[in-house]
Amino acid sequence: MTAVTAEDAAPIEGPQVFGHPRGLVVLAGTELWDRISFHGMQALLTLYMAEQLFRPGHVEKIVGFPALRSVVEGLFGHLTTQGLATQVFGLYVGFVYVTPTIGGWLGDQVLGRARTVTLGALLMTAGHFCMAFDQSFLLAMLLLILGAGALRGNLQPQVGELYPPHDRRRVVGFQLYASMINFGAFIAPLVTGALGKAYGWHVAFAFAGVGMLVGLLIYLAGQSDLPKSPLKGPRVVRPPLTPKERRIVLRLLALVPITALFWIAQSQVWNTYNLWARDHIELQVGSFAVPVVWLQSLDGLSPFICLPPMLMFWRWQAARGREPGEFVKIAIGCFIFAVSTLWLAAAGLVTGAHGRTPLLWAVAFHLASNLGWLYFVPTVTALFSRAAPRAVNATLIGVSSLAVFLGSTISGRMGSLYETLPPSIFWMLHAGLVTLGGVIMLGIGLRFTRAFETDAPA
């Protein structure tokens, strides 16, 4: 038996596309269809549960629902139908971002990247098709959670593996990869919203399953352009982490609850925000009623509008030696998102003839908040990809997703406050949490950046 080490999965040299490895196109294309399927379902989920699935005539059909309700209310207290919908959504999204830790471990230690991604895509496809029936709703949730962990826990690490550890293109590569996430988030609500309106919820959910199959085909067709990681198993020889690597691991773990402060507010954009928009935004344009979920498409389109000028601004800063470091960029993202959330808090100050806030107010929110998203999310991922020791790189990138689990779970609970607090106070509370996260990250960036530096390349 020939022993292999973690270093065998080194960056590959090959054809370039716009100065980046061609494998980035394969991974971004796979992620695009993953997000079309995921966001297409996610955009509908809270409204679907609150307006149909958890109502009499449907809720009785869900296999295992009484047990689920008993557990959720045992943890969070009695919930209305709407409150239960926001809490279940928060738990679902939270667990979607927990399982990449397990998926990353499977890719690192057991199956290898390609097999784990394939397994994840098949599980997610089955989950989306199960969403087409009331009875299999909880089974669908389980399959989607497990599938997302296997797929996402191994796609993002492969992006990092395309570049040497200190390659400046790494952060830009993650930005371009993240743009596919947002493009998928733009397309999906438009399609599923139209399908749901014309043919019903279940047809829209089935479309999401088809999208995931397309993503799998793109990934399998592009294997030759991806880094070759060896099959993991008992034969793998891994040197133990050095004391410095162990310290970096602990420091990265300490960042998780801090970054969760951002995700508490961000998660509400796909959860309670839909209910708020339904109740407070003027959705009637002439004779056409804009579907609430179409606002989610703005959350995908906005980064495409913001990304080119932002990258140009970063290059301008870099040419003058003024480009901020990772932690400062993360803090800037928090501050921008906090200001955007305060914009929602102020929405009640501007109302039209029907007592509702103009649609353009929501458009402005999506543009501004996604600029904050672009500063924050890809930079956090790039930080973990760069700093995490290679032997546990995928696992720690998965661990970074625990911040989304914490944020989504907390936001699901806070979503029930929407029924008792004025909207302005509800959104101000979220803005304050994001601001706190930005202040802490700025402090780390100004004082402790070198504590996250790996050894310089030879």
d(CA 246, CA 388): 10
252 DSSP assignment: H
* Six token digits for residue 177: 């990869």
Q: What pLDDT score does 164 carry? A: 74
Give the β-pairing of 284-285 and 20-21.
Answer: unpaired
* Six token digits for residue 201: 């919820």
> In the chain, what are the domain boundaries?
18-230+240-452
d(CA 381, CA 376): 9
Q: What pLDDT score does 229 carry? A: 61
Q: What pLDDT score does 18 carry? A: 64
Are the beta carbons of 406 and 260 closer than 8 angstroms?
yes
CATH of domain 18-230+240-452: 1.20.1250.20
Q: What pLDDT score does 6 carry? A: 38
Q: What pLDDT score does 30 carry? A: 87
Q: What pLDDT score does 457 carry? A: 41
Q: What pLDDT score does 262 carry? A: 96
* Coarse DSSP helix, strand, coil percentages of the chain, rounded to the nearest 5 percent: 75, 5, 20
* Six token digits for residue 312: 């140009």
Distances (CA, A) of 258 to 13, 247, 254, 406, 435: 36, 18, 8, 10, 11
By CB atoms closer than 10 A (0-12, 13-18, 19+), residue 424 is middle
Are the beta carbons of 37 and 147 closer than 8 angstroms?
no
Q: What pLDDT score does 177 carry? A: 81
Q: What pLDDT score does 426 carry? A: 94
Q: What pLDDT score does 233 carry? A: 47
Backbone φ and ψ for 354, nearest 5 degrees, come out as -95, 15
d(CA 367, CA 201): 28
User: To the nearest 10°, the Cα dihedral for 170, 31, 305, 176?
Assistant: 10
Single-letter residue type at 334: C
Q: What pLDDT score does 5 carry? A: 39
pLDDT tens for the 458 residues of the chain, in order? 333 333 444 455 566 766 778 888 888 888 888 888 887 777 778 888 888 888 888 889 999 999 989 988 888 788 888 888 888 888 888 788 788 878 878 887 788 878 898 999 899 889 888 887 888 999 999 999 999 888 887 887 788 778 776 676 777 777 778 777 777 878 887 887 777 777 777 787 788 788 888 888 888 888 777 876 654 444 555 678 888 888 888 999 999 999 999 999 998 887 788 888 888 898 888 888 887 778 878 877 887 788 788 888 988 988 888 888 889 999 999 999 999 999 999 998 877 667 889 999 999 999 999 899 989 988 898 888 888 887 777 678 778 878 888 888 888 888 878 888 899 999 999 999 999 999 999 999 888 877 787 653 43
Q: What pLDDT score does 42 carry? A: 77
CB atoms under 10 Å from CB of 2, counted, come to 6
d(CA 43, CA 29): 21
